């Protein structure tokens, strides 16, 4: 080979040597990486929030359709109890209902209440007759959030029923308050 062949070989060796040095430098950079840790404190507080989609429910006993008949019950199930809850291990919550102090159904009537929670939001305690003593309406509430939509939460079905026709007072209207309370079980 002539002098030109030696130059070509020499240039190839230089290129191979340059590539090998470049790879070695890259490999050296990846080996010099540093790792650091950070202590992060995380926690979850206990909370218990309760609200209603509507604060007013209207129930009116209407005239019976047939003379001699007892008037039909008045019902309303357009209201939902909405709640958010976090609980400790092995703890559940409940919601109770009671008349506010000095409140009651109109003479000759009773008011019943049935709360029907959605899946994972606790369990219905069944229909109660509202009284001045707090009674369970939803039990077994764990960690949950019912949602905030108009039909999210435990549906509240109120029924005003005539129990004593002789005690009814015409044109009687009662503004009463039912207190719902959420507590640990």
Distances in whole angstroms, Cα of residue 150 to Cα of each of 57, 138, 147, 154: 15, 19, 9, 11
pLDDT tens per residue, range 113-164: 999 999 999 999 999 999 999 999 999 999 999 999 999 999 999 999 999 9
Give the span between the Cα atoms of 124 and 81, in whole angstroms. Answer: 12
Cβ neighbours of 146 (radius 10 Å): 23
| pLDDT of 83 above 70 | yes
């Amino acid at each position: 080979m002539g002098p030109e062949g030696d130059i070509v070989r020499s240039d190839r060796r230089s290129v191979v040597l340059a590539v090998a040095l470049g790879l070695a430098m890259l490999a050296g950079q990846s080996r010099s990486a540093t790792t650091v840790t950070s202590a992060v404190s995380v926690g979850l507080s206990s909370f218990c929030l309760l609200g209603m989609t509507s604060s007013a429910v209207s129930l009116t006993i209407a005239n019976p359709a047939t003379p001699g008949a007892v008037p039909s019950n008045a019902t309303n199930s357009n209201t939902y109890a909405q709640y958010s809850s976090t609980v400790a291990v092995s703890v559940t919550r409940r919601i109770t209902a009671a008349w506010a102090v000095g409140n009651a159904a109109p003479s000759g009537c009773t008011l019943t209440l049935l709360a029907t929670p959605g899946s994972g939001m606790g369990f219905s305690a069944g229909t109660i007759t509202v009284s001045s003593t707090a009674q369970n309406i939803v039990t077994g509430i764990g960690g949950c959030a019912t949602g905030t939509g108009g039909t999210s939460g435990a549906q509240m079905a109120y029924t005003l029923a005539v129990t004593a026709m002789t005690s009814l007072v015409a044109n009687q209207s009662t503004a009463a308050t039912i207190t719902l309370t959420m507590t640990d079980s």
